[in-house]
Amino acid sequence: MFFGQKLKFLREEHGYLQRQIASLLDIDTPMYSRIERSERFAKEEHIPILAKYYNIDEKELRQLWLADKVYDVIAGESSANDVLSIVSESIVEYGKEKTNS
């Protein structure tokens, strides 16, 4: 479940209207609607606001937000899995370098 889907699920689970959440984030309702439909990205600063409002783990929400961004960049690429493997390996190597510093 990506960021927009998660937001829609949480909003409906709590019985909120899109306009209520849009107001919380200080954006207009059509913009919030596009975020839920994954047509636009939420701002990074919205993540802690939403996590606190819904009383959920901010880390989980941030991971979904980042996953959306990565997906948007590589989704149509025929080598998307290979690209993700390279990135994953690089992240592991980066982590090793950081611990050895």
Q: Mean pLDDT, the chain, as a whole number?
A: 93
- Please, are residues 61 and 3 in contact by the beta-carbon 8 Å criterion? yes
* 91 pLDDT higher than 90: no
Q: Where are the alpha helices (DSSP H) in the chain?
A: 3-14, 18-25, 29-36, 46-54, 58-74, 80-100
Domains of the chain: 3-76 (1.10.260.40)
Could you tell me which residues come within 8 angstroms of residue 8 by beta carbon, excluding any fewer than 6 positions away? Answer: 36
Residue written as token pair 């829609």: 8
* 94 pLDDT higher than 90: no
Share of the chain above pLDDT 90, in %: 80
- What is the pLDDT, as a whole number, of residue 95? 74
